[in-house]
Amino acid sequence: MSQYKIEAGTGQHIGDRQEQQDRAALLTSARAPGYLMAIVADGMGGMSGGALAAEQVIRTAKQAFDLFSPQTDDIATLLRDIAHEAHTVIKLTAISSEKKPHSTMVVLLLTPGRSAYWAHVGDSRLYRFKGPNCADRTIDHSYVEKLVQEGRLSRDEAKEHRLSNVLVSALGSHEQEPEVAVRRYDGLADGDAFLLCTDGLWHYLEDAEFGAALAMNTPRQASEMLITKARERAAGTAADNCTLAIVKLVATETEKTYNVGRMRRAI
């Protein structure tokens, strides 16, 4: 990205589950130099089923991004296609494996033109930060979020609601096609950062805590801090898998230039 350095990283913890069913990836494409994709998927569907679904999301994203051309293809269409293609394959997997795999998805694509596009299905989230301040986040496709939007439930009540894990849109559902929400933000600047994560992380931390961790640390350091804090707060609650990806924009140092006049004055 021109005039910027991108720092990125991923982190995971199995939580108190027997299997890690989340997946995360940072991807580049030879046909789209300067573009970066980050993606997180939270698989569901019993032993191995959820892992298969989440893995399919990552595999579909990589294949689609490898074929993407900035000169001829539309980014929003690319993100929607990833969701719908993964949805179709996960449904086929259910038939062949006799399981009921499902997955959420949140994907971010940064361009060399200082733009960010993101899409999500389900309750895996993307947060956008300007410095330590949360400027935007995705709205979950969940039953309790629907109640919050209707004014029937507060956000604090939603977090502890007994149906907080019920989704109204997911990849692999045989009942309906997924709702794919796509957003765009232009004018990325030094200090901007993105956090993509599953509910095994965001359930235990506040927006301000995320912002402070990202602003003051490298992606690796922030990942370790956030997962450690989530695990501390989840003690004794049979916590879910915890997965995240962090992308930060950092200004590059201005290269020093010298000329004969400056050299003479220095001498």
Phi/psi at 118 (nearest 5 deg)?
A: -145, 155
Spell out the residues 6+ positions from residue 171 whose beta carbon is closer than 8 angstroms to its own. 53, 57, 83, 86, 87, 90, 102, 103, 104, 105, 121, 122, 178
Tens-digit pLDDT profile for residues 170-221: 999 988 899 999 999 999 999 999 999 999 999 999 999 999 999 999 999 9
* Whole-number Å distance between alpha carbons of 60 and 58: 5
The full set of domains in the chain, from first to last, is: 4-252 (3.60.40.10)
The pLDDT value recorded for residue 48 is 75
For residues 255, 256, 261 and 267, what is the CA-based torsion angle, rounded to 10 degrees?
Answer: -160
Per-residue confidence (pLDDT) for residue 98, from 0 to 100: 62
- What is the phi-psi region of residue 69: left when phi exceeds 0, alpha when psi lies from -120 to 50, beta otherwise? beta
Residues 6+ apart with CB under 8 A from 202: 125
Q: Which pLDDT score is estimated for 4?
A: 74
Cβ proximity of 93 and 56 under 8 Å: yes
- Give residue 2's pLDDT: 52
In the chain (267 residues long), the average pLDDT of successive 10-residue segments reads 80 93 97 97 86 96 98 98 97 75 96 96 97 96 87 78 84 92 96 96 96 96 97 87 96 53 39
Residue count (the chain): 267
User: What are the E-state strand segments in the chain?
Assistant: 4-13, 22-27, 36-44, 102-103, 105-110, 115-121, 125-130, 133-137, 181-186, 192-197, 242-251
Q: In sequence order, what are the residues at sequence separation of 6 or more whose Cβ sits closer than 8 angstroms to the Cβ of residue 218? A: 7, 9, 248
Distance spanning both ends of the chain, measured CA to CA: 37
pLDDT score of 257: 43
pLDDT at 94: 75
Q: Give whole-number Cα distances, 17 to 111, 237, 240, in Å.
A: 36, 11, 6
Residue pair 25/10 in contact (Cβ under 8 Å)? The answer is yes
User: By the 8 A CB rule, do 34 and 109 touch?
Assistant: no
Diameter over CA atoms, the chain: 79
Would you state the pLDDT for residue 265? Answer: 44
Chain centroid to Cα 82, Å, comes to: 14
What pLDDT does 132 receive?
Answer: 96
